[in-house]
Amino acid sequence: MSTQSSDDQILDGYRLIRFLGRGGFGDVWLCRSEAMGDYRALKWIPATNADRLEKEYESLLHYRTAAARLRSPHLVPIEHVNRNEAGLYYVMPLADGIAGNDPSDPDWQPLSLAAKIHAQTHKPQWFTSREILALIGPVLQALQTLSDAGLVHRDVKPDNILFFNGQPCLGDISLLGVDASVITRRGTTGYVAPSWYLGGHPDMYGAAATLYTLLTGNLPDKMGRSAFLWPPQGENSLSETERAEWKRLHRIICRASEEIVSERFLDFHTMAAAFGRETTVANTGSPRSSFSVGGWIALVLVLIGITLVLWSANQSAASDPEPGPQGSPTVETNTPPPVAHETLVAPTPTKTERRSTAANTSAPSTRPAAASSRAAHPMPKVKRSLQDPKNGSHGVEDSKLACNNLEWIASEQGLMSKAELEVFRDMLQKIQICIRDPQTPDYKAAARFLDEGVNAIPTLKNRGNIKLARLVLLQCDGQQTLVDRESSDPSLLVLGDDNLSYRIELLSRTRNHDIARQLLDNIVVSSTASRRERSQALMERARLRAGLGDNQGAFSDAGLSFELAEGDPAEKSARKAEHDELQKDDSGYAEFVKSQPEI
């Protein structure tokens, strides 16, 4: 089809008026409905290139299915599709014009984000940070919609973001597909995901590059270079507050374009949440707070619950008999407090418990049960020594940690039958007797009793935390070679129903820091893990990274953990308590946090 004016050409009731430009694999035309008289945009893909035509047709099928199932006001709708022997064509609404003039004007051109950016370079002031977030937020919403449908756009850039009634919409689906694992050379240089950007979602790189261009007016090849952080009008054109916001937005760009997939945002929703509550992805195009009426109701219910618990505790204290004379023995029971099966993680160990040093020293602390939604068995609060595990005091404490983990397993509802639970508790009691005397602990016998008990309960044989409890006892007995050999067991990377915090701490005590990190990475990027589980895993990883001296990584993980806990006041409070304790445990990390913007 010629790009010259063709008033005599009509396709399915749409008269072609004027060639507008090339997009993707075809030509875009201004057209007018013969029936209604209104203007539309028509894209034409000639049959001369069969491969491109079939690719665009496949993209159309995916896109229309997704649009019907997951409607978004920020995806350009496809109104009509057809094909003939000459090619494929489809009709879309007409975007706003650059100058606001009528589409019949020969100078009329569609308004894209690229055109907006170009026009802003000639003005005395650049976009404000609020204007930038209002422009990029709807694009992230559109990308999340595509991602929810299992689709990848692959050509996110300012030229493909058009405005309809003043609102930005993502268009041009020529490269749209279903396989996010494929890194393609197609797309626009600078905005297309590079070959090293493996895993995760390729469109996140395009979104980061687009945000960079919005901030600076530069092409993405200058991303990350300190000389190109500011708008064309210069750093001094921004107020002090805006300069701080610019730096914060650049940090978001860095995280979204990070080479390591587990360092990036989990999805476009969490990327948008990083902008701030007022720009959280929503189905409306306007800024709004992410803390909804439902969130306030949930917060009130939590406060009521706390009040009732405190009242109940006071009533109970008032009704308890006076304590006996000083020195009266207290009655101990081997039965642990009940723990809900849905609880995933126990009290988080301190940073020094996870430090990977030759001395393998740490200083655990006990977390109050009320500090978070954690299991009832705290980590032992002792000062780790530099002595050999077989004879040193920290060998006893490591074995106590193993016992606490076994008690947590015994408390899980429905895990074992009544007869199996009796066998398990009998085994646990024997192990506790073996390690009770810190002067003469018998770790070898404790490990043997654990083997005998688990062999009698086949359903427990593959539980990673039980295997690690055994490795801890063997390590305390000085059998490090055996521990190192059995640490290659792949089941240690499968959490299942085990307690996450105990898993990470047991791995750290057996010097398997790499396995602990890999397990947490797997949970963070898992598509089946819940937001709560990923939030907990991120805070666990923050502790692990801080313990290994990676303060920047720990801070980044803590921020992601908070973002995932948004909308759940109880979970957000739990994450904050954990982060506060991490800073209390690690003065170096606490100093680093002071130098950073508030999470």
Fold of 10-93: Phosphorylase Kinase; domain 1 (3.30.200)
Cβ(180)–Cβ(201) below 8 Å: yes
Number of Cα atoms under 13 Å in the Cβ half of residue 208: 29
Residue 592 CA to residue 404 CA, distance in Å, equals 33
- Give me the amino acid identity at 287: P
Look at residue 4 in the predicted model and tell me its pLDDT. 55
Question: Taking the CB of residue 189, how many other CB atoms lie within 10 A of it?
Answer: 11
Q: Which two tokens stand for residue 35?
A: 């029936």
Closest by CA position to 192, among listed 151, 155, 140: 155
- Pairing, β 87-93 against β 26-33: unpaired
Closest by CA position to 309, among listed 219, 386, 369, 221: 369
Closest by CA position to 209, among listed 159, 173, 163, 164: 159
pLDDT tens digits for the chain (599 residues)? 655 555 568 898 999 998 888 766 788 999 999 888 899 999 888 888 788 788 788 877 777 766 556 567 888 888 888 888 888 898 989 999 997 778 888 888 889 999 999 999 999 999 999 999 999 999 998 998 888 877 888 889 999 999 999 999 998 876 665 544 444 445 678 898 888 888 888 899 999 999 999 999 999 989 888 889 999 999 999 999 999 999 999 999 999 999 888 888 888 988 888 886 434 343 333 333 333 444 445 455 555 555 554 555 454 444 444 333 333 333 333 333 333 323 233 333 333 333 333 233 333 332 322 233 333 344 433 333 323 333 334 677 888 889 988 988 888 878 888 899 999 999 999 999 998 888 889 999 999 999 999 899 988 888 899 999 999 999 999 999 999 889 888 888 888 888 888 899 899 889 888 888 888 888 887 767 888 888 999 999 998 888 888 888 888 889 888 888 888 888 989 999 999 999 998 999 999 888 887 77
Look at residue 304 in the predicted model and tell me its pLDDT. 57
Q: Which two tokens stand for residue 567?
A: 């909308």
Look at residue 130 in the predicted model and tell me its pLDDT. 92
Return the residue matching tokens 């940090």.
Answer: 251
Residue 72 CA to residue 385 CA, distance in Å, equals 59
Rounded to the nearest 5°, which phi and psi values hold at 80? Answer: -155, 135
Look at residue 323 in the predicted model and tell me its pLDDT. 37
Residue 509 CA to residue 497 CA, distance in Å, equals 21
Look at residue 552 in the predicted model and tell me its pLDDT. 84
Look at residue 102 in the predicted model and tell me its pLDDT. 83
- Region of 12 please: left (phi>0), alpha (psi -120 to 50) or beta: left
Q: 22 CB contacts (<8 Å, ≥6 apart)? A: 28
- Give me the amino acid identity at 527: S
**Best CATH choice for the domain 113-273 from the list 3.40.50.720, 3.30.70.260, 1.10.10.10, 1.10.510.10:** 1.10.510.10
The per-residue DSSP string of 430-469 comes to HHHHHHH-TTS--HHHHHHHHHHHHHT-GGGTT-HHHHHH
Orientation angle between helical segments 464-476 and 443-455, nearest 10 degrees:
160
Look at residue 392 in the predicted model and tell me its pLDDT. 38
Based on the number of CB atoms within 10 Å of its own CB, is 458 exposed (0-12), middle (13-18) or buried (19 or more)? exposed
Q: Which two tokens stand for residue 133?
A: 């977030």
Look at residue 58 in the predicted model and tell me its pLDDT. 81
Residue 151 CA to residue 66 CA, distance in Å, equals 8
Provide the β-strand partners of residue 36: none
86-100 burial, b for 16+ CB within 10 Å, e for fewer? Answer: ebbbbbbbbbebbee
Residue spans per domain, the chain: 10-93, 113-273, 351-529
Q: Is 283 helix (H, G, I), strand (E, B) or coil?
A: coil
Provide the β-strand partners of residue 29: 19, 42
Residue 47 CA to residue 573 CA, distance in Å, equals 59
Q: Is 497 helix (H, G, I), strand (E, B) or coil?
A: coil
- Give me the amino acid identity at 195: S
Q: 517 CB contacts (<8 Å, ≥6 apart)? A: 541, 544
* End-to-end alpha carbon distance in the chain: 55
Look at residue 322 in the predicted model and tell me its pLDDT. 39
